[in-house]
Chains A and B, each alone.
Chain A
Amino acid sequence: MIDAWIGGALALFFILCACGLVLSAATRGVYSLRAFVVFSAACSILMMFSSAVALASGHSFAIDLWRLNGWGRLSIRLDMLSAIFLFAAGLVYLPASLFVRNLVEVRFRGRYPTRRYGVLHFALMASVVLILVASDAPLFLISWECMSLLCYFLVNYEQSARMDVRAGYIMLVMSEAGFLAVVVAFLILGRGTPDWSFSSLAGMAEHLSGGAVWGVFLLGFLGFGVKAGLVPVNFWLPRCYTAAPAVFVPVLAGVTLNLGFYGILRLDAQLMSNHSLGTGLFALITGSITALVGILYATTENDLKKMLAHSSIENAGIIVAAVGASLVFHASGYAVAAAIALTAALYHMVNHSVYKTLLFQGVGEVEAATRTREMDRLGGLARLLPGLSVVFLVGCLSISAIPPFNGFVSEWLTLQSLLRSAVLLSSAVKILFALCGACLALTAALAVTCFVKVYAMSFLGIRRGDWRKVPGKAGRTQFPLAYLAVACLLLGILPTYVIPVLNRAVEPLAGASAAASLVPPFFTATPENQQLPPAFVNDFHNLGAQTGRHVLPGRGLVVMVRGSEKNPVVFAMSTSYSFVALAIFLFVTWFIATRSSRQRSVTRHELWAGGIPRLLPEMTYTATGFSNPVRVVFQAIFRPNIVEDSRETVAVHFRTAILRRRDETHLVDRLLLHPVGEAVGWLARLLAEMHHGRLNAYVTYTLAFLLIILVLFRLS
């Protein structure tokens, strides 16, 4: 019965995808756009529906497709891990589809070539779903390659500037390199395998030697890390996100980024269960460095879109660090800690998809309304776009991990799971965990700085640039954003309902249940329960942990990990109760404030700005100024190249103009891309020496080669 529901939904999804592809290509103008929006929204709802059914029932759906000569049988399987990623993809695709319509109508006044866009969009959607449900290597790799190519076409869709086209090329090259690495990883893994299904590959993984495990892990990690945006293979990401059209970036950040994590989890966590400690530590360290590098560049970046791209790198780092911690715990035999870390990773993945889509759409909206993305030229948008400013604020609060929004829960869980390293035996590993935890804590603090800057500099204050609001249908554009903002809030205040769902995917991977240890069943506590003794429950009953037990379903509203007898609670929190308390406090404060100030008179004068006669936009705090402390403190990392030039009239004391330019090369470019480029150039020059010789020299080379071959033959 459930199989029929899931299978039917998936089949319907592919049918609708095909219909949408054909209809949006065959029709013209507004009909094309309508077909696009309707079919895309329907497809994303079906994605959510099929995965929700699978997650709710806990039942994996599997079906064999046709047999491919020499490759074995192609099959698809929607297991719990796939279902979570599929649900997150659907969650993002729905507002992204509706958003396309808003943006096309507002920014392009309907003159957007939706026909070709629709074809690419539906093809990408189908390939994403195929990647997520593929249960054998050939189907997975074919869909992956399709996805890479379609992403390239979509990034280059508007083709506005030369740099954009270059960014697209860099992305294509990196995706292909990553793809090759993944193919090699699968080939090593599946040497001598009877067929290429994931289950038999998992069986092969048990016989791999230590070196081969490292090889497969590294190739897969870096190959998938290209899509996930990990240091050092992420230099395409900021360029490409900046170049991509505003309608496509939310998909890029909310869907295809996740595919990288999916690949890492599928290949490195599920297929290869015999991990050493080292691979997990490698993932943890890479993740922490990625997070720190990402947020450093995000904080100092003034282009909204580029800043969000760097922030995506940061979030990817946090997720991968949690995955790495989980692998280390798994290798050391702490299944429960591994499950908690993996839950944190998946939770953060879902959260990141939601709020990053929200923020990218908000930036798209800002750009559509003002035609600029420079924070130094924006300012005062809250008055211009009040609805957008509220939802954008929700996005900023979520991403900076402020309760009661969703970013808080997952970042808190991630940091707490890193602190669980106290149980590990090796002190070197403990020190590494502590350093990575410090790295992530610094990242979280910088993220707050970064998004305070984003919101304050773009939405508050006074308008700095000479842009003018583009007239458009601003009212209609808020729905997809509001939908995502509500999702942010719900994921933040209902973690105890989300964790058991995530747990369905985590449990088979980690070998232990995260929900059982993270969400104590306060609502359904019985005196017979050995895990939750009545005395313990009683203590927490007095604190209010059982409030609402007769009204609400579920296990409870408290996230808590219980420890030993000496230390009964390792960590605990409840965003649900604190949200209610926060709401009550805010209401009471508002009530008292309004009641007590009823008799007082309120006078309003203009803003106090130090008594200056007129506050000019140039005088206000700029985004560059706000982030300059970070730039100065981390100068050793940024290594800026500052060029200062001045023009004088009479002597050096009478300067008429000062030009100060600051160029920064990204850390990864500086340490990896440029040396590699130089090495290739050096090699090419060396070969060119040979190429540009005379004909006689070529003949000599040939003769020498022939002689060497003959001598070798003779000797052997």
Chain B
Amino acid sequence: MSFWFWHGLKKGVRSTHYPRKFESAAGVSPGRPVATEFDSATEAVLAAANCPVDAIVARGSAAEVKLERCIYCQHCHYGNPHLLEWNSDYEWTMAALGPGKYQPLPGAYHRSLHVMVVDAGDCGACLHEVKQLNNPLYNMHRLGIFLTATPRFADVLLVVGPVSENMRVPLLKTYEAMPTPKRILAVGACAINGGVFGRAFMSAGGAASVLPVDLLVPGDPPPPLAILHALLAVTGRKNPVAQMASLEGNS
């Protein structure tokens, strides 16, 4: 006889309390580099030069971060003298068109959201993180968010991967097959701007070059809680963070 029921009662609730409480367990997020004030402008330039994808921009003695470009190589975190400060939060979803230009789905979707995931040439990392949302720890069903296999029921199109040429038409067809109102999430650096692939002969360079993306989830890959934050931002239960201070004027 199986005692799973008893075990379950004994262990209690293990799911995260996010978004009711801030989840602070170790390892739920890789964190993110944040703008850092250095002693001199030279040091800031050296820190920026350390970044292989130009995600760090020197402005005066400060090094500012364009998180949507970051591929999490962690060169600015370990092993060089010009390190940036790290913040260990995970609520970093951004509106693609800038602050104030994003409209969440209407109230009927607050506690019922169906997500269609399209793998548009993903390496598997972002997909893996999306998959984690279904496990008991993150358990997105408790928030009324479900994955669906057909675009006919989907409210959100979650794109991962840089949109390879072979997936461009299927992605467009999926978008067309979805009923309105609908929102598009670009998850991971690849889906935002092509990431390490960039724009190439077989890579469209991100979902935004094909579809009108609404929300960006930076990270390579973003942790599950960052994706969860984005999904909550779609329903209007959370707000996308204002463009980070370091990004102002650059977008």
Q: Is the CB of A608 within 8 A of B150?
A: yes
Q: How far is the CB of A417 from chain B (nearest CB, A)?
A: 45
Set B150, B170, B171, B176: member contacting A605, Cβ < 8 A:
B176
Which residues 177-235 in B have Cβ within 8 Å of A in the complex?
A: 177, 180
Q: Is the CB of A611 within 8 A of B152?
A: no
> Is B59's beta carbon under 8 Å from chain A?
no
Q: Is the CB of B177 within 8 A of A612?
A: no
Q: Is the CB of A612 within 8 A of B150?
A: no
Set A603, A608, A613: member contacting B152, Cβ < 8 A:
A608
A603 to B152, CA, bound (A): 13
**Which of A606, A611, A612 counts the most chain B CB atoms within 10 A?**
A611
Q: How large is the interface on B (under 10, 10 to 19, 20 to 34, 35 or more residues)?
A: 10 to 19
Q: How far is the CB of A597 from chain B (nearest CB, A)?
A: 13
Q: Is the CB of A608 within 8 A of B177?
A: yes
Q: How far is the CB of A554 from chain B (nearest CB, A)?
A: 48
Q: Is the CB of B170 within 8 A of A611?
A: yes
> Is B137's beta carbon under 8 Å from chain A?
no
12 interchain pairs, CB-CB under 8 A: A603-B180, A605-B176, A605-B177, A606-B173, A606-B176, A608-B150, A608-B152, A608-B173, A611-B169, A611-B173, A612-B170, A613-B169
Q: Is the CB of A608 within 8 A of B151?
A: yes
In the complex, what residue of chain B is closest to A608 when comparing beta carbons?
Answer: B177
Q: How far is the CB of A581 from chain B (nearest CB, A)?
A: 31
Q: Point out the residues of chain A lying under 8 angstroms from B180, CB to CB.
A: 603
Q: How large is the interface on A (under 10, 10 to 19, 20 to 34, 35 or more residues)?
A: under 10
Q: Point out the residues of chain A lying under 8 angstroms from B36, CB to CB.
A: none
Q: A611-B169, A613-B170 known; 9 other A-B pairs, CB under 8 Å? A: A605-B176, A606-B176, A608-B150, A608-B152, A608-B173, A611-B170, A611-B171, A611-B173, A612-B170
0/1 interface trace, chain A 587-618, chain B, CB 8 Å (1 if under): 00000000000000001011010011100000
A465 to B173, CA, bound (A): 26
A612 to B172, CA, bound (A): 11
Q: Point out the residues of chain A lying under 8 angstroms from B174, CB to CB.
A: 611
Q: Point out the residues of chain B lying under 8 angstroms from A603, CB to CB.
A: 180
In the complex, what residue of chain B is closest to A612 when comparing beta carbons?
Answer: B170
In the complex, what residue of chain A is closest to B149 when comparing beta carbons?
Answer: A610
Partner-A contacts on B (CB < 8 A): 118, 150-152, 169-171, 173-174, 176-177, 180
In the complex, what residue of chain A is closest to B168 when comparing beta carbons?
Answer: A613
In the complex, what residue of chain B is closest to A603 when comparing beta carbons?
Answer: B180
In the complex, what residue of chain B is closest to A607 when comparing beta carbons?
Answer: B177
In the complex, what residue of chain A is closest to B171 when comparing beta carbons?
Answer: A611
Mostly helix, strand, loop or mixed at chain A's interface? loop
In the complex, what residue of chain B is closest to A609 when comparing beta carbons?
Answer: B173
A608 to B153, CA, bound (A): 12
A603 to B151, CA, bound (A): 15
A210 to B177, CA, bound (A): 73
A605 to B169, CA, bound (A): 14
Q: How far is the CB of A385 from chain B (nearest CB, A)?
A: 29
Which residues 461-492 in A have Cβ within 8 Å of B in the complex?
A: none
A606 to B169, CA, bound (A): 13
Q: Point out the residues of chain B lying under 8 angstroms from A605, CB to CB.
A: 176-177
In the complex, what residue of chain A is closest to B172 when comparing beta carbons?
Answer: A611
A603 to B179, CA, bound (A): 9
In the complex, what residue of chain A is closest to B118 when comparing beta carbons?
Answer: A611
**Which of B150, B169, B173, B174 counts the most chain A CB atoms within 10 A?**
B173
Q: How far is the CB of A411 from chain B (nearest CB, A)?
A: 36
In the complex, what residue of chain B is closest to A614 when comparing beta carbons?
Answer: B169
| Among all A-B residue pairs, the 8 with the closest Cβ atoms | A611-B170, A608-B177, A605-B176, A611-B173, A613-B169, A611-B174, A605-B177, A608-B151
A66 to B170, CA, bound (A): 82
Q: How far is the CB of B131 from chain A (nearest CB, A)?
A: 20
A606 to B170, CA, bound (A): 13
A605 to B173, CA, bound (A): 9
Q: How far is the CB of A596 from chain B (nearest CB, A)?
A: 15
Q: Point out the residues of chain A lying under 8 angstroms from B173, CB to CB.
A: 606, 608, 611
In the complex, what residue of chain A is closest to B174 when comparing beta carbons?
Answer: A611
Q: Point out the residues of chain B lying under 8 angstroms from A613, CB to CB.
A: 169-170
A485 to B30, CA, bound (A): 69
In the complex, what residue of chain B is closest to A611 when comparing beta carbons?
Answer: B170
A613 to B172, CA, bound (A): 10
A66 to B171, CA, bound (A): 85
Q: How far is the CB of A314 from chain B (nearest CB, A)?
A: 36
Q: Point out the residues of chain B lying under 8 angstroms from A612, CB to CB.
A: 170
A606 to B152, CA, bound (A): 12
In the complex, what residue of chain B is closest to A613 when comparing beta carbons?
Answer: B169
Q: Point out the residues of chain B lying under 8 angstroms from A611, CB to CB.
A: 118, 169-171, 173-174, 177
A71 to B251, CA, bound (A): 109
Q: How far is the CB of A674 from chain B (nearest CB, A)?
A: 49
A605 to B151, CA, bound (A): 12
